[in-house]
Amino acid sequence: MIFPSRPILCVITDEELPPVTIAEQALIGGATMIQLRNKTASGRDLCRWSEAILPLTRQHNALFIINDRLDIALATGADGVHLGQDDLPAAEARRLLGPDRIIGVSTGTEQEAIQAETDGADYVGFGHIFPTGSKEKPLPPVGTLALQATASLLFIPLIAIGGIQLENAGRVISSGASGIAVISAVSRHSNPRLAAEALVREMKGGMPK
């Protein structure tokens, strides 16, 4: 499956806010990937949300990715799954998903990113780049220098994540990221559509001339 045009804006849904509404507004604003992430929701709710979000992503020529839950991705026809370091290995996920679904893997070091690519991932999420409040007791941020070094070693897209806001999105892209993944910068913004639009403009400004 082909990625949307770079730079990629992946909007991750917030567990405390309505995912379908956030997804719809983000897509109107220019998001090219929606990641449904909710670690406490029931499988029934995840399927219901997925069935509502998937046609929205199709309408906007965007990708729909499920966080962690390979079973939900298979059941709902999502474009793929995003896995953490403690989840199913990418190589095993590939065997179950087949060759046409997208697999993303969260990474925080060069070694993890290279291993994810070796195991068959289609993209890596890399970070956190800047300080973030989305995880409990997070490790120190990796920064843009590590991002730049890691991106130069990969043949697959690197999507930066962690603490990315409007004021630093362009710098992340100019450091070599293929795109960014955000939660609060869009999902918790008072106007998710306008927030997505502004991020897309900022990212395009950070692309090499």
Strand-pair partners of 36: 66
Catalytic residues: 37, 106, 135
3-state DSSP assignment of residue 8: strand
